[in-house]
Amino acid sequence: MLEAYIVDPYIRAIVTFLAVFVILKIFLYIVGKVLPRFASGTKTTLDDVILQKTTGPLTWIAALIGVRFAIGEINLEESLSGTIEGIVLTFLIFIGGVLVYHILNALITIGFTDFGGKAKQKANESLLMFFHSIFTVVIFVVVFLLILASWGVEIGPLLAGLGVAGLAIAFALQSTLANIFGGISMILDKSIQIGDAVKLDDGTGGEILKINLRSTKIQTYDNELVIVPNGKLSESNIQNVALPKPKARVVVPFGVAYGSNVEKVKKLVMAELKKIDGFVDDDSASVKFILMADSSLNFNAYFYIADYREKMSALDEANSRIYAALNKAGVEIPFPQIDVNLKKK
C-alpha cells in the first residue's frame, strides 16, 4: 500500500517499522494505564509485578514484529530474507520465553504466597523454590526446542531420541535422581522447610537455608555451611526443632545446700521463671527435686518458651534470675567438697 506513496523500499521499510512499533506501543501504553486501575483495587501485588516485569519484553516483541513487517517492504533474495526472518523469529521465541518466565515467577513467588495468606496458611517457601527451579528448566528446554523447530529441525525424532537417551541417562544418574525425588518427598511430606532448625544423625545441627533440586544447604550454629544430598537426607533420622510447634522446652539444672527449705526453693524459682521473656504460661512449668547428691540437693526447672530460636537467651536469663533470687533469699548454693577426717594413732 505504501508503494503508491513511497518509492524507495528502504524508506518504506523504516516507515513500516515505525508505524507497527508505534501502534503496538500505543496499545501497550493503553493496556498499561487501564490495568493498573483494576490492580490498585486488589490487595495483592501480583498484577502490579506482572505489569512491571513484562513491560521490557513486550517492548522488544513490538520492535521485532516491526522488523518482521519492515523486511517485507525490501526486495531481498529469498535465502537472505529467510535467514533474517529466522533470526527475528528466534529472538521472538527467546523473548517470549523470558516473558513466560517472568509471569510464572510472579505467580509462584507472589501469587501462591498471597493465596496462602488469604487461606490463613503459611506458604511453603521450600516448595515454591523447588517448583521455581523445575519451571525454569522446563521453560529453557521448551524454548530451545521451539528455536530448533523454527529453523526447520525435526524435533519429533529428537524427542524420540531424547526418550531413549533419557533411559540411559536415568541409569547413569541414579544418585542424582534419588536426590531430586528425595527433595520432592521431603517437601511434600513437610518434614523440613526453609528456616527450620534441625539435627541430623551424624550430629550436624543448624538452620535450613535452601532446598535445591539435588541438595539441601544447612547453616550450622558455628556459621558453617553444610551441603547434604537430598537422597541421604530423606533416608536420615531428622530431629526438626521447629515442628510440630515453634515453642520449645528449657531445662535448667541447679543445686542448693543441704538443710534448705525445699518448698521455699520451688516457689522462689517458679516465681522467677514466670518473669522470663517468651515464657509460655500453660501450667507446664515446674520445679522438681530430683536428687540428693553428695554435696547438694539437685533440682531441675522446666518451662516452655514461645520460640525455639530464643532458647539460649531464655536459658541464660533463667540461670541469671535463679542465681540472683537464691542469693537474695539467703539460700546457699554449694560447690563440690570433700571432708577428710584424720585419725590420730
pLDDT in tens, 91-130: 888 888 888 888 877 777 665 555 544 444 444 565 666 6
- Answer yes or no: is pLDDT of 75 > 90: no
Residue 178 has pLDDT above 70, yes or no: no
Q: Average per-residue pLDDT in the chain?
A: 78
What CATH code is carried by the domain that includes residue 200?
Answer: 2.30.30.60
Same structural domain for residues 21 and 109? yes
Number of structural domains, the chain? 3
**What's the pLDDT at 251?**
94
Q: Which stretches does DSSP call E strand in 184-230?
A: 197-199, 205-211, 215-220, 225-229
The residue that leads in pLDDT, 150 or 257, is: 257
What residues make up the domain containing 298?
248-328
Q: Report whether 304 contacts 285 (CB < 8 A).
A: yes
Say if 258 falls within a structural domain.
Answer: yes
d(CA 93, CA 338) in angstroms, rounded, equals 85
How far, in Å, CA of 175 to CA of 232, rounded? 10
Q: Which of 240, 261, 290 is the last residue of a domain?
A: 240
Same domain, 115 and 37: yes
Q: Name which residue leads in pLDDT, 21 or 311.
A: 311
Task: Kindly state the average pLDDT of the residues 140-146.
Answer: 84
Q: Do residues 76 and 39 both lie within one domain?
A: yes
Measured distance CA(8)–CA(255) in Å, rounded: 101
Residue 160 lies in a domain: no
